[in-house]
Amino acid sequence: MFTRILKYDIFNGTKLELMSYIEKFEKVNIISGNPEVLYNGLNDHELFNNFTGNRSVIIPDGVGTVVASKIIRKPVKEKIAGIEVMEEIIKKCEKEEKSIYLLGSKEEILQGCIQNLKNKYKGLNIVGSHNGYFDLNNCQDIIKDIQQKKPYALFVAMGSPRQDNFIINNMDNLTCKIFMGVGGSFDVFSGKVNRAPKWMIKLGLEWLYRVSKEPERIKRLISIPKFLFKVIRYN
């Protein structure tokens, strides 16, 4: 059920199998394992310990991670996009009358995300939210709010490693079952940013589409060859 890439165990089942697998956890941190996130983990002891902990599941989110699995001849079954997992969890919460909490992004993006999710999933219970502009070391009001509202799933959209650090610092203090850093997913749900066309996603070219829309992201792509070089070197 896992492919070992460098020192990481990457989930190698389908998205449907993932949804079934995470049910066995009392608490689970779902990590979107693209090369940038995984490369950061190799250079940060706290991140690495979290990514490899027994409450974490790394999904192959990113064509670079899929390519890495092929390099070591243990290919994952499919690329699993974090935003798609987030949406599957949301569907589950609506169906089973479980609640979610949204943390991160700019206030206007956050509110747009909330409104669009409510429009699409009429029965979804969003018990609370807060934008991502706060001090990680001075946010007891936010922690208290999440504690009081007891959401089933907490989605944190503040980019890596900030979103990961928030989860690391507070997972033990919160009763949520699912913790997930979701990067720019609120932007997509708000309608500010569109995902790539389906044909580009199928061909593994979603990264190219995103760079064409946000040229500043090109700097982040350097992590892909760095990560793949390490995979080749240590394979």
Gap between the Cα atoms of 194 and 197, Å rounded? 9
Q: Angle CA(92)–CA(96)–CA(101) in degrees, nearest 5?
A: 65
Gap between the Cα atoms of 88 and 4, Å rounded? 25
Into how many domains does the chain fold?
A: 1
pTM beyond 0.85? yes
Query: Are residues 197 and 34 in contact, defined by beta-carbon separation less than 8 angstroms?
Result: no
pLDDT, position 205? 67
Tell me the residue range of the domain where 59 lies. Answer: 2-234
pLDDT confidence of 235, banded at 50, 70, 90? confident
- Examine the pLDDT at 178 and tell me if it is beyond 80: yes
Per-residue pLDDT tens for 180-203?
999 999 999 999 877 768 777 776
Mean pLDDT of the chain: 93
pLDDT, position 50? 96
Cite the DSSP H helix spans in 31-161: 35-42, 45-51, 63-71, 82-96, 107-120, 140-149
Residue 69's Cβ-count burial label (10 Å; 0-12, 13-18, 19+) is buried
What's the whole-number mean pLDDT along residues 206-210? 67
Per-residue pLDDT tens for 7-35?
999 999 999 999 999 999 999 999 999 99
User: Alpha-carbon torsion 31, 32, 38, 41, what sign?
Assistant: negative
Gap between the Cα atoms of 27 and 156, Å rounded? 15
Per-residue pLDDT tens for 31-44?
999 999 999 999 99
Higher pLDDT, 193 or 137: 137
Determine if residue 108 is left, alpha or beta; phi over 0 gives left, psi from -120 to 50 gives alpha, anything else beta: alpha
pLDDT, position 176? 98
Per-residue pLDDT tens for 51-107?
999 999 999 998 899 999 999 999 999 999 999 999 999 999 999 999 999 999 999
pLDDT, position 200? 76
Token digits of residue 209: 């589409």
pLDDT, position 68? 96
Gap between the Cα atoms of 157 and 163, Å rounded? 6
pLDDT, position 197? 81
